[in-house]
Structure 1
Amino acid sequence: MSNQKNRIQKKLVTKGAPAPAANIPRLPGVSVIIPMYNSQRYIRTCLMSVLNQTFRELEVICVDDCSTDDTVKIVIEMAQQDRRIRLVRHMKNSGAASEPRNTGMRMSRGKYIAFLDSDDMYTPTALAELIEVGEKFHADVVHTEQVYFPENQVIDVTPQTKFTTFSKEKGGFCKEPMLETDNLAQRVQMFYQGRFFGWVHNKLYRRDFIMERNLRFDNLLTSEDIVFYFKVVCTAPRIVRVPNIIYIYRHNPNSITRKMVSIEASLHALTHLMIEGSKVLDDFMSGFEFFVKNPNYRQLPIDYIIQQHLIWTQRFYDKYSPAQLEGLVRKELGKYCGDFVPFFSYLYSAIHSYRQRLINYDKEVKELRAKVAALPAAK
């Protein structure tokens, strides 16, 4: 693993123009879809990481969601040097990544589809590694478990940047490619248990599968990628899990999740997710005989998605007493459904439960540190 990290650090940022894209076929092997909004700080190195892939037969579809900075200017400049870049501009800002991703999928021509956020990067052999597995296993989805994360939350990555690995997957990591079960009950349980974490950008998808199932991103304020990936997990005939780490996740303080700077904004997103996300998932699951006959499985995905949102935004709730929190929750829910007690009880209990779990966790960490500090020093 250390040798792999060293190779990545040496090749991560290539100075100058990308290598010439000679003999690019009419239909590319993979379409890399990059949604963009005010990404001028990141987009050049993001695109370079794609254009310098060892797998050359690709197209990059950059979908701009009405940027007000120099993002488009940079992409146009780079597209003049490499005809594999295609720029699409939305006429109206959609406010999230869902619509740009949907636009990119509609315009894609590759055998495979990959999603890359405009503030992130690929390792040099990322696409070659995933496509090799996809071809070998005839996979509809190639699922990676971990990403690289720059140490000390560095934003501007250089060849000298050091990396650590990061994952939100539960249940351990595979050591070699493995074909996942096609049993829907087992897959839903695995999703709920965190075994299929729903980042969409560190995976590879067969385009025909996406189009045949008419899979699209829903217009949600948050967690739209996890909702999308739940649909993938339920419909993909062949999902292959791999140990490869191919994605570099950069810390961006302006990401949508980190821009939730108040408990009001967080509660608004959470309430929208609980109500609108529930509708989206319920409509989707209504088309499956399995979920109709097994209603106990229907609540699992929305429970899981709300839990993930709470983990990201828990910092807001620590500042309020239970009584204050109750008032804020009731006020936000009232905008949607008045004083509808079941929704209120669910949301409040979920927030309170996660806050208590974090309090207990912090307590255990402090106790463990105290025990370690009390140990006699090694001679």
Structure 2
Amino acid sequence: MCFCEKMISIVIPVCNRKNVVKTMIESVLHQEYEEWELILVDDGSVDGTFEMLMEYEKKDNRISLFARNRLPIGAQTCRNIGLEVAKGEFIVFFDSDDYIQPYCLRQRINNMSLYPDVDFLVFPAQEFSEIVGDRQRFWGQIVNDDVLSLLLESYIPISGWTNMYRTNSLKRKGVLWDEKLKSKQDVDFNIQNILKGLRFEYAKGSMVDYFFRVETNKGSVNKMVYTREHFDSHVYFYDKTIKSVHQMYNCKYDNELFILGVYFIIMGHRDDMEYIRSMYNLIKGLSCFGIMNLLLSLYLLLYLKFGFDIKISKVVLLPFYIKRKAFLSWYHSRRFDCN
């Protein structure tokens, strides 16, 4: 089967990225596979980005520019707007400050023809900082058969940009980007895809075709995830995830959900006791017993009851932290091998 004439929709949210979005757009324009539409959705840029995107729209009729016309603000709303207007049989969600190899779209659509029964395929990606190839951290690698388990423990083996989706699969299953979330958007999107029954595979033997810029993508977000606004989003995400997973699998993944709750609690600090209590109240509903609950209870006793310094009481949860850091260090530092 050949998909040589099938259109690919590329959805990219943009906000004040004038200095870096050119790199992504130019890499799209230089794709070996030419049957694509680029849907740029501006999220209220004020630095001249929108005007620059208008010039690109004039130069190539495959490029369409939209301004976000509804609330809430954020990349997740822009991606949904892009999904609504997408005409392609396949769709990808890329970030504005990243880069794709010239063979990216060709590789992805060729692989989709090899997996006619899947709803999306996962492709390899690599981080970079200033120059493509300057960081040896990889994404989209095969780890085990239970990706949902890893996502629930807040490991991120796949992201939005590692995947190519069948547009109709997303629309048929009613999968949307959750516009209430301030962070964890990619994790939530992939969890919902799996819970709603979308079938996927890794594109075995594929080359790295996507490069994810670390500083501009993650730096500001990493600071914001510790704000009150993001804490409210964490509680919402955790509550929603528990309910969604329980509806499909009952208590099968409660250990993973417990670890996810611990991960969120560790993010808290002394001024956010309401946030920590909210997380703990959700964790208490899980069917986890033994040493994990004992450690968490000791942590909360030290911190909430006796007022121990948060850094000291977090030592109690050190085993979970070490396990997470060790796994992430091993996973992302591996040379990519899809075979």
Q: Is the 8 A contact 1:209 1:236 kept in 2?
A: no
Q: Is the 8 A contact 1:200 1:225 kept in 2?
A: yes
Aligned to 2:251: 295
- 5 Å-filtered alignment, 1:339-378, equals 342=281, 352=314, 356=318
Greater relative CO, 1 or 2 (CA 8 Å, sep 6+): 2
Aligned to 1:239: 200
Aligned to 1:249: 212
Residues 1:329 and 1:119: Cα distance change in structure 2 (over 3 Å): same
Secondary structure at the aligned position of 1:46 is classed as: helix
- 5 Å-filtered alignment, 1:8-157, equals 29-91=7-69, 94-138=72-116, 139-144=118-123, 146-150=124-128, 153-154=129-130, 157=131
Secondary structure at the aligned position of 1:258 is classed as: helix
- TM-score (structure 2 length as normaliser): 0.73
Q: Over residues 61-104 of structure 1, what are the superposed CA-to-partner deviations in whole Å (9 max), with x where a residue is unaligned?
A: 00001111111111111111110000110145634211000000
Residues 1:237 and 1:217: Cα distance change in structure 2 (over 3 Å): closer
- 5 Å-filtered alignment, 1:191-340, equals 191-192=151-152, 197-218=157-178, 219-242=180-203, 243-253=206-216, 255=217, 258-261=220-223, 266-268=226-228, 271-282=231-242, 284-285=244-245, 288=247, 290-291=248-249, 294-297=250-253, 300=256, 303-304=259-260, 307=263, 325=269, 327-332=270-275
Structure 1: unaligned runs, 5 residues or longer: 1-23, 175-179, 318-324, 365-379
Distance 1:235 1:194 in 2: 19
Distance 2:261 2:100 in 1: 26
Shift of 1:191: 3.8
Residues 1:359 and 1:127: Cα distance change in structure 2 (over 3 Å): closer
Secondary structure at the aligned position of 1:38 is classed as: coil
Residues 1:81 and 1:232: Cα distance change in structure 2 (over 3 Å): same
Please provide the CA RMSD for this pair: 3.7
Q: Is the 8 A contact 2:153 2:257 kept in 1?
A: no
Distance 2:318 2:242 in 1: 29
Distance 1:358 1:194 in 2: 12
- TM-score (structure 1 length as normaliser): 0.66
Distance 1:328 1:195 in 2: 27
Aligned to 1:375: none
Percent identity between matched residues is 18
One-letter code of the match for 1:295? C
One-letter code of the match for 1:274? H
Picking from 130, 134, 149, the partner of 1:189 is 149
Larger radius of gyration: 1
Structure 2: unaligned runs, 5 residues or longer: 285-295, 304-309, 327-339
Residues 1:256 and 1:354: Cα distance change in structure 2 (over 3 Å): farther
Secondary structure at the aligned position of 1:48 is classed as: helix
Q: Over residues 333-375 of structure 1, what are the superposed CA-to-partner deviations in whole Å (9 max), with x where a residue is unaligned?
A: 58xx6xx9635997976982697359979xx9xxxxxxxxxxx
